Amino acid sequence: MNDTLDISLAQCNFLVGDIEGNTRKIIETAKYARDHLHADLVVFSELSLTGYPLEDLLFHPAILPAVSHSLEKIKSEINGIYILLGAPTKEGEYLFNSAFVIRDTEILAIYHKRILPNYEVFDEVRYFQAGTATCVVDISGVKAGITICEDIWSDVPIRETVEAGAELIININASPYQVGKTAERTRVLKTRIDEQNVPIIYVNQVGGQDELVFDGESICLDRQGGLCMLAPAFVTGAFTVQYSRVQTDLLESSCLHSPLPELASIYQAILLGVRDYVQKNHFEGVVLGLSGGIDSALTLVLAVDALGSDRVQAVMMPFRYTSDMSVEDATRLANQLDVKLDVIPIDNIYTTVACSLQPVLPDSEDGITGENIQSRIRGLLLMALSNKTGKMLLTTGNKSEMSVGYATLYGDMAGGFAPLKDVSKSLVYQLARYRNQLGAVIPERVLTRAPSAELAPGQVDQDSLPSYDLLDSVLQKFVEQDLTVDQIVAGGYERDLVERIAEMVIRNEYKRRQAPPGVKITRRAFGKDRRFPITSGYSMRGHTSQDQLQ
C-alpha cells in the first residue's frame, strides 16, 4: 500500500435529466482518473447521476428506475478505482438526496444528506427526507466521512462524522455561483476545520442550468485550514490531490489556481450561462436587437464570446427617434465583432399600426402607448427571425430596469433568455469596461453617452428614473438585502425617493413574472430566488418597519 491516497476531484458539466449521458460522463471520467491520473478514488458532485436541480422531474416515474439501471452499469463497467457519486434514492415512501461509494461491482456505502436547504433557489424539503445517520467508509485504509453540500454549513453533521471515526471529510456539492461565493465557502470550510481538526475535500460541479451557473472551484484544505488545492473556476476536468496516510493530512497539490477577480468571475459566469442554455436546449444560435446602447452592446459581446460570431445575428430597427450616433455605434460594434448586422426600419410598420388603431384609439401615438408600440414592433420582428432561423432571442434588459418596470411586456422583454437579468445598470458599465480591457470592441461613446431608450424625442433614462448610481444603491439594499424602507432611509437616503423605488419594485412584479430566465449572479436574483405575489394589498408607504408591521 502506498503512503498516499490519490484522490481525483471531477468537475463535470452534467445535464439535468440526461441520466444516460451523465452515466457515460461518469464512466469516462472514472476511467481517465484511474488510467491517466492513477487515482485511487474519483469524486463526483451532488446528484451527479441525474443533474441538479432536478425539480419536479424527480417525481416522474421513470427517473428512479433509470438511476438504478445506471448504477448497475457503473458497477459493471468500472473496476480498480473507488467512485463517489450522487444520486436520488427511495426507501419506503421517502426520497433521499444520497451519495454512493462504489468499488468493483459493489456498493460499499450509501449516505443520505442530513441538512436540506430550503431558502433562496433551494427547495429540497419539497423533494427529500433528511437523513439521520453519519457515513464513514474505509477507502483503501483511509476512514473517509461522506457528507453532501449543506451538511458542511452546519457544525453537527461534521462533528458527528468525526466522532464516528472520520479522518478525512469529503463533501460533494452542487453549489451555484454568486459574487463572492468562493471566499464564503472557504470561510465555512475553515470554520469546520477549526472545530474538528480534520482536512476537507469539497467537490463542486460546473455548468449552466436554467438560471443557475455552477462555477466548480473545488477546494481542498488541510488540518490547519491551509489551501492544498483550488480547481479552476468554470472549467471542467479532473484534478488530483493526495492524502498522506503517514501525516493523516492532505498534501499540497500542483493544482492551486488563484480565484478569479470579481468582474472576471461575473463575466465568465454569464458566458457559461448563455452558452449552456443555448447548447443544452439545442438552439442554432442567438438573435438580438442592437440599439446602439450599452445594454445591447454588452449582450452582443457576451453572445459572441460565448458562442462565436457565426452563431450570432444582430438586428437594428431604427425609427424616427433613433439617433445617427446609435446607428453608427451599432454598426461599428457589429463590424468589430464580425457579426452581420441586419437593418429593418420600423417607421412604415408603426404608421400602419397607428392607422389601424385610429378608429378605436385616436391618440395611440401619444405618450407611453406610442413608445410601447415601437418596442412591441421590434419584439415582433425579432421573434419572427427567431422562429424562422431556429435562433433563440436574447433580451438585453438589465436588473435595474426589471426592478422598476422600465421595460415593455411583449416588446424588449420578449425572448428566451436574459443574460443581464441579474446585472445592475452600474455593473453593466463595469463589465463593458472590463471586456474592453481584454480587447477594445465596445465604442467609447457607448460607454459615455447618457443612456436612452430613444422612444421619444430627446429622451434619456433619467427623465423617468433617478440616476443609476442612486437607483442601484437603493435597489441593492431593498431587493438583495431585504432592508425595509426605514432601514434604507436611516442610511442617509431621502424617504420619498426610497418609497418611490420600493413601490415601483412591488408594482412591477407582474412584469417580472413574465420575463425570460437569466443568469443568477447575486445573492437575490429575480425568479425562484425572490418569490413575491403579483396581487397584493401591501404598500411600502406607512408599512416600512418591523414594529409597524406588528
Q: Do β-strands 82-91 and 200-203 pair in parallel, antiparallel, or remain unpaired?
A: unpaired
Pick the closest to residue 179 from 230, 215, 210 (CA basis): 215
222 three-class SS = coil
Q: Is the peptide bond before 53 cis (omega within 30 degrees of 0)?
A: yes
Positions of E strands within 299-407: 312-316, 341-343, 392-393
Sequence-ordered list of residues with C-beta below 8 angstroms from that of 222, at least 6 positions apart, any chain: 199, 228, 249, 250, 251
Catalytic residue among 135, 149, 220, 228: 149
Indicate the residue type of 519: V
Pick the closest to residue 25 from 56, 68, 63, 70 (CA basis): 70
Catalytic residue among 12, 46, 255, 401: 46
Beta-carbon count within 10 A of 176 CB? 24
Residue 46 annotated among the catalytic residues of the structure: yes
Pick the closest to residue 386 from 416, 425, 343, 345 (CA basis): 416
Pick the closest to residue 511 from 416, 395, 419, 404 (CA basis): 404
Catalytic residue among 113, 391, 421, 477: 113
Residue 72 annotated among the catalytic residues of the structure: no
Helix (H) or strand (E) holding 145: strand 142-148
For the chain, the residue count is 550
Look-up: residue for cell 440526461? 18
- Find the angle CA(376)-CA(379)-CA(380) to the nearest 5 degrees: 90
Give Dmax over CA atoms of the chain in angstroms: 89
On the 0-12 / 13-18 / 19+ scale of CB atoms within 10 A, 197 is exposed
Residue 425 annotated among the catalytic residues of the structure: no
Q: Do β-strands 286-289 and 312-316 pair in parallel, antiparallel, or remain unpaired?
A: parallel
CA 518 to chain centre: 8
- Please tell me what DSSP assigns to residue 131: P
Q: Do β-strands 142-148 and 136-139 pair in parallel, antiparallel, or remain unpaired?
A: antiparallel
User: Which residues carry out catalysis?
Assistant: 46, 113, 149
